[in-house]
């Protein structure tokens, strides 16, 4: 079907909707219930099963056979419309009830057009941009037949060793919630069912980011206060934005695997929050309940996951093999299976899959990597970069003055690594390298490139193969020495060096824990040798996690952190270097000095001898290298006139420099006393503003019961009575402009002293 006939069909459906009895029939929940009545137990269990579409998942039957046998409700990891349509035809034409399939894939930061990695998108502090980028990702995915993405990943991460930190929005629940909601809006569109929207999935519920020492998949131990105040809010925000599905996490939460955790999946998600969509397990996580030493065998695993609240089993076929037996033996009533199936069917109806099951192959060429998508990817990479240092205003470079530029480093021209982890599987994307980017942006400048050193992972993981990372055969010693020297020689004969160092794409993401924050390989030595040439050096950091850059901060005048910037990497970096774009991103994570400080986050509690907070270690300051929210600009800003009114805080920002630029106004609060200790600072509002030279703007932040409420295990959801609140507004979490006020009974904007049960925790299972 062509794109136009899709709309024509849609319009026809809309026309029939006028008749009330037809409107009733179109109701997805009603339609799901009607369909369910016709289904056999086996057909129901088929809908609860997601089958792997790649050879990666061993299965005696092919995906076609599984679909033909009505043993699949969804297919995982297919990414081309031809395969999608082939399987969809089997589902629609060859099964008794013609139920279409959901095709799920990890479209995390773009499909063909690759945007910066999610942590970078969060560094833009620009939810509207995040929403637009995810809308592009949705449109491209849908054109390729993908109708379900396993995004957004909304796990709070406070340990830079954890590789999956790059897939979320960082350490803060307030920023994380805003970014989570924006992603859902972008992916799902105004409502599910549009031709350019995909079903979103909030993952990994919940607490995955608290893995001990950042070791991926490891158990998390999270007390109630942290769960409710820190780890849950981005999930709740995704839910409030209408997210259609949740994914249960791999790890144990307080010794109960998240995929068998009724507290998480039923008590909180469905009973407290009223989630009406469906939960899919993480890949193989149902089967893994045995590995955890939680379930005794696969049948028990199926029982535990199903009764805890997992609707769909991703890839492990544990439901397929065991649920029918559990129903027949009476351990699970068929009515419970019905309850699991209904939201899956309703979602398929809501998405319009019964009316439009197929991918329109003819759209692909025009939609994937469309010029306007690439333009947005360039803007996104510009807006997510964070300027960490700019001594002597080395940046921006002028296009005439810098006559010869040396671009040096193993990541500067590495297409794969500039794209980042979770570049969509199955579609080949490319990134513009930095040498090319500079040539395009500043054609008058002479650019030469030398890689200098190479980087390898010590232990490659399955993801290296899966995502098509570059092969890693180390250079022989003689070649390594030669390449190093070539880079130093190039620096010597150039006017300025852009040194691009960091980590390979797959050094972060899944199964990519780091036990050190040192530059991998011989990059540190390369940096020291290049700086020793005496040439002006700009360090461009291409990395997912923060690295130990203490030496660089002491010796390199300019440092621009671009993360893994995506398809338009080279252009966007060049735009920033030459001032065609203004850096305005801010760190969504606290940047430690070294690995020994991990985990580290700004919203910690105050304790004994706070004046010695920075002197807790004997070897060096225990403060971070850069605080949460930090980022410089090529211009300067001043905050003034902080005013606190009932329900609102206002502040004036002025661009005090001679260039236009962006600033992110950030509001932090601290509760001075109360039922429990609260963090020294908590973000409660932000706004990114663009200001012309000497322009001023007054920014308003709502500050009412919603912002002041927190959760305490003694008091449930709560706003303190008559407590004092400190307020700071400024350009990072060390903001100095201060005011305070007292929460009063009488102020309706601050309803005090009354527990609000809307986010109450049910009792934990014993």
Q: Is the dihedral of CA 590, 123, 467, 84 positive or negative?
A: positive
Written as six digits, the tokens of 617 are: 């270690």
Of residues 282, 300, 731, 732, which has the active-site annotation? 282
Of these, 222, 251, 258, 283, which contacts ligand BGC (CB under 6 A)?
Answer: 283
Q: Give, for 538, the enclosing helix (H) or strand (E).
A: strand 537-542
Nearer to ligand BGC, 31 or 292 (CB): 292
Nearer to ligand BGC, 76 or 445 (CB): 76
Least CB distance to ligand BGC at residue 505 (A): 16
Nearer to ligand BGC, 90 or 283 (CB): 283
Nearer to ligand BGC, 84 or 283 (CB): 283
Q: Which of residues 121-180 bind ligand BGC (CB under 6 A)?
A: 150
CB 507 within 8 A of CB 456: no
- Measure CA 235 to chain center: 12
For residues 82 and 446, what is the distance between their CA atoms, to the nearest angstrom? 45
Q: Which of residues 642-681 bind ligand BGC (CB under 6 A)?
A: none
Nearer to ligand BGC, 511 or 676 (CB): 511
Q: Which of residues 385-404 bind ligand BGC (CB under 6 A)?
A: none
For every residue of 397-461, DSSP letters joined together read PPTTT--EEEEESTTTT-HHHHH-TTPPTTS------HHHHHHHH-TTSEEEEE-------SS--
Q: Which of residues 611-630 bind ligand BGC (CB under 6 A)?
A: none
Least CB distance to ligand BGC at residue 377 (A): 22
Written as six digits, the tokens of 142 are: 């849908």
CB 578 within 8 A of CB 441: yes
Please state the length of the chain.
766
The 8-class DSSP code of residue 230 comes to I
For residues 140 and 128, what is the distance between their CA atoms, to the nearest angstrom? 19
For residues 677 and 647, what is the distance between their CA atoms, to the nearest angstrom? 23
Nearer to ligand BGC, 19 or 56 (CB): 56
For residues 97 and 32, what is the distance between their CA atoms, to the nearest angstrom? 12
Q: How many residues bind ligand BGC (CB under 6 A)?
A: 6
Q: Which of residues 488-547 bind ligand BGC (CB under 6 A)?
A: 510
For residues 568 and 571, what is the distance between their CA atoms, to the nearest angstrom? 6
Rule CB under 6 A: say whether 556 interacts with ligand BGC.
no
Least CB distance to ligand BGC at residue 279 (A): 13
Least CB distance to ligand BGC at residue 173 (A): 20
Least CB distance to ligand BGC at residue 288 (A): 11
Nearer to ligand BGC, 282 or 582 (CB): 282
Nearer to ligand BGC, 76 or 306 (CB): 76
Q: Give, for 570, the enclosing helix (H) or strand (E).
A: helix 569-577
Q: Is 282 a catalytic residue?
A: yes
Of these, 36, 50, 106, 107, which contacts ligand BGC (CB under 6 A)?
Answer: 106
Instruction: Classify strands 245-248 and 201-205 as parallel, antiparallel or unpaired.
Output: parallel
Rule CB under 6 A: say whether 449 interacts with ligand BGC.
no
Give me Rg for the CA atoms of the chain: 26
Q: Give, for 388, the enclosing helix (H) or strand (E).
A: strand 386-390
CB 496 within 8 A of CB 397: yes
Least CB distance to ligand BGC at residue 586 (A): 26
Residues 6+ apart with CB under 8 A from 399: 442, 444, 445, 578
- Measure CA 741 to chain center: 35
CB closest to ligand BGC, residue no? 150
Least CB distance to ligand BGC at residue 317 (A): 15
Residues 6+ apart with CB under 8 A from 148: 74, 102, 103, 104, 105, 198, 199, 201, 245
Nearer to ligand BGC, 106 or 140 (CB): 106
Rule CB under 6 A: say whether 282 interacts with ligand BGC.
yes
Least CB distance to ligand BGC at residue 205 (A): 11
Residue 174-213 contact track with ligand BGC, rule CB under 6 A, x = bound: -----------------------------x----------
752-766 per-residue burial string, b: 16 or more CB within 10 A, e: under 16: beeeeeebebeeeee
Of 159, 38, 12, 56, which Cα lies nearest the Cα of 591?
Answer: 159
Nearer to ligand BGC, 106 or 663 (CB): 106
- Give the CA diameter of the chain: 80
Least CB distance to ligand BGC at residue 249 (A): 8
Least CB distance to ligand BGC at residue 424 (A): 11
For residues 290 and 621, what is the distance between their CA atoms, to the nearest angstrom? 45
Written as six digits, the tokens of 592 are: 């430690």
- Active-site residue set: 282
Q: Which residues bind ligand BGC (CB under 6 A)?
A: 106, 150, 203, 282-283, 510
């Amino acid at each position: 079907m062509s794109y136009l006939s899709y709309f024509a069909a849609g319009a026809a459906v809309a026309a029939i909707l006028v008749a009330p009895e037809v409107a009733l029939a179109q109701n997805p929940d009603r339609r799901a219930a009607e369909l369910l009545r016709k289904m056999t137990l086996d057909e129901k269990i088929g809908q609860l099963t997601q089958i792997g579409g790649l050879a990666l998942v061993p299965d005696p039957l092919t995906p076609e056979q599984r679909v033909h046998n009505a043993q699949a409700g969804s297919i995982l990891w297919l990414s081309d419309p031809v395969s999608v349509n082939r399987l969809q035809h089997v589902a629609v034409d060859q099964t008794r009830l013609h139920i279409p399939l959901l095709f799920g894939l990890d479209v995390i930061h773009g499909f063909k057009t690759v945007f910066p990695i999610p942590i970078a998108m969060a560094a833009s502090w620009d939810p509207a941009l995040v929403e637009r980028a995810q809308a592009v990702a949705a449109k491209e995915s849908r054109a390729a037949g993908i109708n379900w993405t396993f995004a957004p990943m909304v796990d709070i991460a406070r340990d830079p060793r954890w590789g999956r930190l790059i897939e979320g929005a960082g350490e803060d629940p307030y920023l994380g919630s805003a970014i989570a909601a924006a992603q859902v809006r972008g992916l799902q569109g105004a409502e599910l069912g549009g031709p350019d929207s995909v079903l979103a999935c909030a993952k990994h519920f919940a607490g995955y980011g608290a893995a001990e020492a950042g070791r991926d998949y490891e158990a998390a131990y999270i007390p109630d206060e942290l769960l409710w105040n820190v780890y849950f809010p981005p999930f709740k925000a995704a839910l409030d934005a209408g997210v259609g599905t949740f994914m249960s996490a791999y790890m144990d939460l307080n010794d109960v695997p998240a995929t068998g955790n009724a507290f998480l999946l039923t008590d909180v998600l469905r009973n407290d929050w009223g989630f009406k969509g469906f939960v899919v397990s993480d890949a193989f996580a149902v089967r893994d309940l045995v590995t955890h030493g939680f379930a005794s065998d696969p049948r028990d695993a199926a029982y535990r996951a199903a009764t805890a609240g997992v609707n769909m089993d991703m890839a492990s076929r544990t439901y397929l093999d065991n649920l029918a037996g559990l129903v027949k033996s009476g351990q699970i009533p068929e009515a419970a299976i019905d309850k699991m199936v209904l939201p899956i069917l309703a979602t398929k109806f809501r998405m319009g899959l019964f009316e439009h099951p197929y991918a329109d192959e003819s759209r692909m060429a025009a939609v994937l990597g469309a010029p306007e998508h690439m333009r947005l990817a360039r803007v996104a990479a510009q807006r997510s970069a964070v300027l960490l240092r700019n001594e002597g205003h080395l940046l921006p470079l002028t296009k005439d003055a810098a006559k010869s530029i040396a671009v040096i480093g193993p990541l500067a021209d590495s297409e794969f690594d500039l794209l980042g982890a979770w570049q969509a599987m199955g579609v080949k994307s490319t990134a513009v390298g930095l040498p090319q980017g500079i040539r395009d942006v500043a054609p008058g400048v002479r650019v030469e490139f030398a890689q200098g050193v190479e980087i390898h992972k010590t232990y490659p993981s399955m993801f290296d193969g899966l995502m098509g990372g570059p092969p890693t055969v180390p250079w022989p010693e003689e070649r390594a020495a030669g390449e190093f020297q070539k880079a130093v020689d190039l620096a010597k004969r150039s006017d300025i060096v852009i040194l691009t160092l960091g980590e390979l794409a797959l050094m972060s993401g899944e199964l990519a824990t780091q036990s050190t924050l040192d530059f991998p390989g011989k990059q540190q030595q390369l940096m020291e040798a290049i700086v020793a040439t005496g040439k002006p050096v700009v360090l461009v950091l291409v990395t997912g996690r923060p690295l130990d850059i203490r030496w660089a901060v002491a010796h390199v005048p300019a440092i621009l952190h671009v993360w893994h910037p995506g398809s338009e990497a080279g252009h966007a970096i060049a735009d920033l270097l030459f001032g065609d774009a203004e850096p305005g991103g801010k760190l969504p994570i606290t940047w430690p000095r070294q690995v020994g400080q991990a985990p580290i986050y700004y919203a910690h509690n105050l304790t004994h001898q706070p004046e010695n907070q920075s002197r807790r270690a004997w070897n060096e300051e225990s403060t971070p290298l850069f605080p949460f929210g930090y980022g410089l600009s090529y211009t300067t800003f001043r905050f003034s006139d902080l005013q606190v009114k009932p329900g609102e805080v206002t502040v004036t920002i002025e661009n005090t420099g001679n260039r236009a630029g962006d600033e992110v106004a950030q509001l932090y609060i601290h509760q001075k006393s109360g039922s429990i200790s609260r963090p020294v600072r908590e973000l409660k509002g932000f706004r990114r503003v663009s200001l012309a030279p000497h322009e001023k703007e007054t920014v308003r932040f709502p500050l009412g019961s919603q912002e002041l409420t927190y959760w305490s295990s003694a008091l449930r959801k709560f706003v303190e009575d008559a407590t004092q609140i400190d307020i700071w507004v400024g350009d990072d979490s060390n903001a100095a402009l201060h005011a305070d006020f007292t929460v009063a009974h009488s102020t309706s904007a601050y309803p005090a002293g009354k527990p609000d049960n809307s986010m109450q925790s049910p009792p934990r299972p014993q």
